[in-house]
């Protein structure tokens, strides 16, 4: 029992420490107060932990769940879209509903998985680019604060890659404590509380935030999560229970500030791999243990939110950028994998990375639209060259 429980602990700590900062930054970017952001982080920990425990026990499979890290990155870049958190919550609810419908309606699931990979990957790369640039800009703007974090991440990326980002986050906490003191610590951050957020449904926010959030969560998290499970010998019996369960729970969690949860990919590899247990039949224990540890980690949501709030924004974005470099590399590689689709991928990437807002709708949506039109046009114009016979 020690081995799978240890794997669950490592997976939970890695997942939490490597990306909680970007979750808080994303929620704050779309209008959440400090209390609402802490509530959002808490409800995400609780919901993904409970779903992992219930479904892993039900199917006796290591089904680990996580918040959508690409989705949180999208929130950071969508700051200009809305400052009304209730409208953002409405978009979160729509995203969760779409995930649930995808599980219940196989035709929609097939449509989502058929979004051309170059377009989906290029959209994700465009979303991640401004965040992944942040370590560079922070190192120039705040060298005394940022360089120690970057150096620790770089050293451990060579020596102990799994702990590179969590260690960078620890260094960030030390740097913040030394630079701003301990005034950010107080009784209010010790025991986080759930804060109900009444939703409002703004069509522009749904189109510019809810739909791209759904696409990046499906393409960047759920689909790779299923692939990881299959690679490790755990093909899910049916995707419907996983998608319907996570979608419905995400809808409920949105009312307390959480954006969306999904099937994990990185932590799934930890909890479903041979390090969790030599026997396949016992690896589900790791996912259950990881879910239980997430319930405990949720108790630190208020402290984590206070730390992020007290930190210089560029510093938090820099740490998030370090955590997302791997995802950025993967998305760029996938976008440019097929030579004939590279122009389409480049067009999609440039539109999304531009950060344009047209008619109140953000660049992620326009990147999908322009990328789709470019693929239709270039695909229509592209014809195989006629074979030439040798003279």
Mean pLDDT for 76-97 is 89
Per-residue pLDDT, 186: 55
pLDDT category of residue 390 using cuts at 50, 70 and 90:
very low
- Cα 24 to Cα 307: distance, rounded to the nearest angstrom: 10
- Poorest-confidence range of 4-8, 129-133, 201-205? 4-8
The 10s digit of each residue's pLDDT in 31-41 is 999 889 999 99
Q: Does residue 384 register a pLDDT over 60?
A: no
Q: Supply the pTM of this predicted model.
A: 0.80
- Cα 170 to Cα 328: distance, rounded to the nearest angstrom: 23
Per-residue pLDDT, 318: 85
Per-residue pLDDT, 383: 46
Residue 68: count other Cβ atoms within 10 Å of its Cβ. Answer: 30
Per-residue pLDDT, 51: 95
Per-residue pLDDT, 261: 95
CB 221 within 8 A of CB 70: yes
Q: Which residue stretches of 262-341 are H helix?
A: 266-272, 284-297, 301-310, 313-335
The 10s digit of each residue's pLDDT in 255-306 is 999 999 998 876 777 787 777 777 878 888 988 998 999 998 888 888 788 7
pLDDT category of residue 385 using cuts at 50, 70 and 90:
very low
Per-residue pLDDT, 105: 84
Per-residue pLDDT, 267: 74
Per-residue pLDDT, 188: 47
Per-residue pLDDT, 187: 43
The 10s digit of each residue's pLDDT in 301-338 is 887 887 777 777 788 778 878 877 887 888 888 889 88
Q: Does residue 152 register a pLDDT over 90?
A: yes
CB 215 within 8 A of CB 115: yes
Question: Long-range contacts made by residues 280-285, C-beta under 8 angstroms, separation at least 24?
Answer: 280/233, 280/234, 281/60, 282/4, 283/4, 283/61, 283/62, 283/234, 284/56, 284/57, 284/59, 284/60, 284/61, 284/62, 284/63, 285/1, 285/4, 285/5, 285/8
Q: What is residue 300's DSSP assignment?
A: G
- Cα 91 to Cα 174: distance, rounded to the nearest angstrom: 35
Phi, psi of 73 (to 5 degrees): -65, -40
């Amino acid at each position: 029992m020690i081995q799978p429980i240890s794997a669950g602990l490592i997976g939970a700590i890695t997942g939490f420490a490597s990306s909680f900062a970007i979750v808080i930054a994303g929620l704050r970017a779309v209008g959440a107060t400090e209390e609402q952001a802490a509530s959002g982080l808490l409800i995400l920990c609780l919901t993904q932990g409970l779903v992992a425990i219930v479904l892993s026990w039900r199917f006796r499979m290591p089904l680990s769940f996580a918040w959508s890290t690409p989705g949180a990155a999208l929130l950071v870049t969508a700051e200009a879209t809305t400052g009304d958190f209730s409208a953002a919550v409405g978009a979160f609810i729509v995203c969760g509903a779409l995930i649930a419908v995808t599980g219940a309606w196989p035709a929609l699931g097939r449509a989502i998985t058929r979004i051309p990979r170059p377009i989906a990957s290029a959209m994700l790369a465009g979303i991640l680019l401004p965040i992944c640039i942040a370590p560079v800009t922070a190192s120039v703007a705040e060298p005394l604060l940022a360089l120690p974090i970057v150096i620790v991440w770089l050293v451990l990326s060579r020596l102990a890659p799994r702990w590179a980002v969590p260690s960078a986050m620890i260094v960030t906490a030390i740097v913040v404590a030394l630079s701003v003191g301990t005034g950010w610590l107080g009784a209010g951050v010790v025991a986080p509380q759930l804060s109900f957020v009444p939703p409002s449904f703004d069509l522009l926010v749904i189109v510019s935030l809810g739909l791209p959030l759904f696409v990046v969560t499906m393409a960047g998290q759920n689909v790779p999560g299923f692939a990881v499970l299959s690679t490790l010998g755990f093909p899910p019996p049916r995707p419907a229970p996983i998608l319907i369960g996570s979608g419905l729970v995400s809808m409920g969690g949105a009312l307390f500030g959480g954006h969306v949860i999904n099937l994990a990919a990185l932590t799934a590899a930890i909890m479903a791999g041979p390090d969790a247990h030599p026997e396949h039949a016992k690896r589900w224990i790791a996912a259950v243990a990881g879910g239980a540890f997430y319930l405990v980690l949720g108790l630190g949501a208020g402290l984590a939110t206070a730390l992020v709030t007290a930190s210089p924004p560029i510093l938090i974005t820099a740490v998030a950028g370090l955590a997302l470099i791997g995802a950025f590399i993967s998305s760029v590689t996938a976008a440019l994998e097929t030579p004939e689709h590279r122009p389409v991928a480049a067009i999609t990437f440039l539109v999304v990375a531009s950060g344009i807002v047209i008619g109140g709708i953000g660049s992620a949506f326009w990147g999908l639209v322009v990328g789709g039109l470019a693929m239709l046009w270039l695909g229509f114009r592209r014809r195989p060259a006629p074979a030439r016979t040798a003279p």
